[in-house]
Amino acid sequence: MAQTYIIGLDYGTESARGVLIDVETGTAVANHVHRYRHGVMTTALPNGGKLQADWALQHAPDYIEAGEALLTSLGRGRNISAIGLDFTASSPLPAKADGTPLSTLHPEEPHAYVKLWKHHAAQAWADRINAGSHDFLRRYGNRTSCEWLLAKAGEIADEAPAIWQEADRFIEAGDWLVWQLTGHEIRSKCQAGYKAHYQEVSAGDSFDGYPDNIVPGLADKLSPPEPIGRPAGGLSKRWRERTGIDGKAIIAVAVIDAHAVLPAVGATTAGTVVGALGTSACHLLLDDKLNYISGIDGAVFDGAVPGLWCYEAGQAAFGDMLAWFVRNFPQGSDEAASFAYYNQAAAILPLDAARPIALDWWNGCRTPISDPTLSGLLVGMTLRTSAVDIYNSLLESLCFGARQIIENFIAGGSAVDHVILTSGIAERNPLLMQMMSDILGQEVSVPNIAHATATGAAIHGAVAGGVVADFNAGARRFGSGSSKAYRPNTATTGVYEERYQLYRSLSSTSEITDAMHALSRYHALGK
C-alpha cells in the first residue's frame, strides 16, 4: 500500500507555511515556508500608487504563488489524502463571478485589493454600523469591527462604487483560495460566522443568515457557508499538473488561522481557553452554552469545534509589539540575538512595583474596547528606567491584556478550567509564559508541537477527507502528545495584582483615550 500523507497550509500575515504529515505515524515529516511577494502593503501599491493612513492590503496572486510553492515542495510525487488550509482573517477581496480578483483588472485602484485584517481605514463604517440597534450584534459584544467584513464592504461601496458594482463576489481570502484549488466556490462557516456575522437560529434569538440591509448589494456577493471539516472538493486537474500531487487530495473548507490550532493542541472540550500568540493574539474559549458577553469579537456555534460554542477575543498587537521594540532598540546582530539579550536580562530583574506600566495597544485595542485608533502607552518612566525595564513592562502588558480578556469571559457567565498558549512565541519565550501564569494566577500549558497552526489545518483536511472520523480522533492522532506546564509563583501575587489594577485604571481613563484619539487624528493628517 502506498504511503499516504496529509498537508496543512497556514496562511499568515507575512507568509504561508505548509506541513506534510505521515498518515500512518501521525508525525510531521517536512515543512516549507514561502513569503508573499508583495508582503503587506501599507504605504504603496505594486504600481507605486500611494496609500493613505491605516491601510493594509495584499495582492491575491501572492497567495497562489505561495500555494504552488508549498504544495509542490511538500506534495510532488506523493500520495496526498487530504489538504486543509487556514487563513488570517478577516481578509476579504472583491472578485468576478469566475473568481478573478479585481486587483488584477484594476491594479491602480486600492479598493480592488485584499483588505488585510489590520486594515483600519474602515473604522468610520464600523462606527456607523455600531451606532444602530442591530439584533445580529448580540453575539458579538454588540459591536462590529473595522477589521471584519461588513465595515470593509461598506468602505468599498462608499469610496469606490464602480469597483463595488463590478464585484460579483466579496469573499474571504481563505474561501477564495479554496475556490482556486478546487474550482468550487465553497465558503466556511468559521470565516462567515466570525467575520461576516453569519448566524443560524439559536435559543435566545431568532436571527438567521447574513445581516441584511447593512451594505447595499452585499447579500448578492455572498453565499451560504459550509461547516468546518467538510470537503470542498478535490484538488483540480490544473493544480495537480502544477504541483505533481497524486492521491485523492480532498480540500477542506477553510478555517481562520487562530481557530485552526484548536485540535492540534488538544482543545476540544468546554472550559478551555486557547491563546494563539502570533503577530496579534487570538484568545478562544470553548463552551457548551451561549452567553451574551460584552467586549468580545464573537460567539459562533460549530465555528471552531463541532458541537461547541467558541468565543473569540484578541489583542491587536502581541509579537509585533515586541518585534517593534527590539528592532528600534537592538542589542544584538539580529532580532533573534536582541530577543535573547532582553529575555536573559529581564529574567534577572527583581519584581519592582515602581517599574513603568505599559498598555499593549501598539496596534489599537481589539478587546474589550474595539478601537483601532488607540495607541500604546508607558507610564512611570524616570531617569533610572532602562531599556530592559521597558521590555519587561511590555511583556507584562501582554499578560495583563490576556488576563482582562479571561476575566471578561468569566464575568459573562463562562467557566475557564484550562489555559493553553501556543505559537513560536510560546515555545521560545519561557520568561513570558511564566509571567503569564503568575499574572493569570493559574497553570498555563504550552503544547510540545511544531507548526501547530498548519497541523491544525491538516487535521481539518483529515476530517474532511475521511482519514479520521472527527476532530477528537484527529487531535489524538496528529496533535500534540505532551505539553510543558507553567505554574504560578505565589510570591509574585501581591505585586502583580497591584500593577494589574494600575493597568486596568489606565485602560479605563477617558482622558488618556481622548488624548490617544487626538494623536490618531494628527497622525492621519500627517500622512
Q: Are residues 22 and 84 in the same domain?
A: yes
**CA distances in angstroms from 433 to 211, 348, 419, 440, listed in the order given:** 40, 15, 11, 10
Q: Is there a domain that residue 329 lies in? A: yes
The answer to whether the bond into 368 is cis (omega within 30° of 0) is yes
Give, in degrees to the nearest 5, the angle at Cα 14 between 95 and 75: 80
Is residue 131 a contact partner of residue 125, using CB atoms and an 8 Å limit?
A: no
DSSP 381: -
What is residue 523's predicted lDDT score, i.e. its pLDDT? Answer: 73
Q: Is there a domain that residue 111 lies in? A: yes
Count of structural domains, the chain: 2
Q: Are residues 329 and 368 in the same domain?
A: yes
Residues 6+ apart with CB under 8 A from 308: 268, 269, 270, 286, 287, 288, 301, 302
Q: Are residues 369 and 382 in the same domain?
A: yes
Q: Are residues 333 and 406 in the same domain?
A: yes
What is residue 341's predicted lDDT score, i.e. its pLDDT? Answer: 98
Identify which of 464, 469, 467 has the alpha carbon closest to the alpha carbon of residue 231.
Answer: 464
Q: Please give the residue range of the domain that contains residue 160.
A: 4-265+449-484
What is residue 1's predicted lDDT score, i.e. its pLDDT? Answer: 58
Q: Are residues 463 and 393 in the same domain?
A: no
pTM (2 d.p.)? 0.94
**CA distances in angstroms from 514 to 23, 55, 461, 509, 518, listed in the order given:** 55, 22, 47, 9, 6
Show the DSSP H helices in 100-188 as ranges.
Answer: 102-105, 123-131, 149-159, 161-166, 173-182
Q: How many CB atoms lie within 10 A of CB 171?
A: 27
Residue 301: which H helix or E strand, with range? strand 298-301
Q: Is there a domain that residue 295 lies in? A: no
Q: Is there a domain that residue 276 lies in? A: no
Q: Is there a domain that residue 35 lies in? A: yes
What is residue 204's predicted lDDT score, i.e. its pLDDT? Answer: 62
Q: Are residues 108 and 173 in the same domain?
A: yes
Is residue 192 a contact partner of residue 198, using CB atoms and an 8 Å limit?
A: yes
**β-pair type (79-87, 4-11):** parallel
Q: Is there a domain that residue 273 lies in? A: no
Q: What would the DSSP string read from start to end of 344-355?
A: HHHHTS---TTS
Identify which of 287, 518, 508 has the alpha carbon closest to the alpha carbon of residue 412.
Answer: 287
Q: Are residues 216 and 331 in the same domain?
A: no
**Cα 88 to chain centroid, rounded:** 5
DSSP 384: T
Q: Is there a domain that residue 270 lies in? A: no
CATH of the domain at 337: 3.30.420.40
What is residue 526's predicted lDDT score, i.e. its pLDDT? Answer: 60
Q: Is there a domain that residue 198 lies in? A: yes
Q: Are residues 206 and 328 in the same domain?
A: no
What end-to-end distance do the CA atoms of the chain give, in Å?
61
Q: Are residues 347 and 434 in the same domain?
A: yes
Q: Are residues 393 and 471 in the same domain?
A: no
Calpha distance 497→491 (Å, rounded): 11
Q: Are residues 249 and 333 in the same domain?
A: no
The tens-digit pLDDT sequence of the chain (527 residues) is 589 999 999 999 999 999 999 999 999 999 999 999 999 999 999 999 999 989 999 999 999 999 999 999 999 999 999 999 999 999 999 999 999 999 999 999 999 999 999 999 999 999 999 999 898 999 999 999 999 999 999 999 999 999 999 999 999 999 999 999 999 999 999 999 999 999 987 756 667 899 988 999 999 999 999 999 999 999 999 999 999 999 999 999 999 999 999 999 999 999 999 999 998 999 999 999 999 999 899 999 998 999 999 999 999 999 999 999 999 999 999 999 999 999 999 999 999 888 999 999 999 999 999 899 999 999 999 999 999 999 999 999 999 999 999 999 999 999 999 999 999 899 999 999 999 999 999 999 999 999 999 999 999 999 999 999 999 999 999 999 899 999 999 999 999 999 999 999 999 999 999 999 999 887 766 65
Render the burial of 386-416: b for 16+ CB within 10 Å, e for the rest.
ebbbbbbbbbbbbbbbbbbbbebbeebebeb
Q: Are residues 399 and 460 in the same domain?
A: no
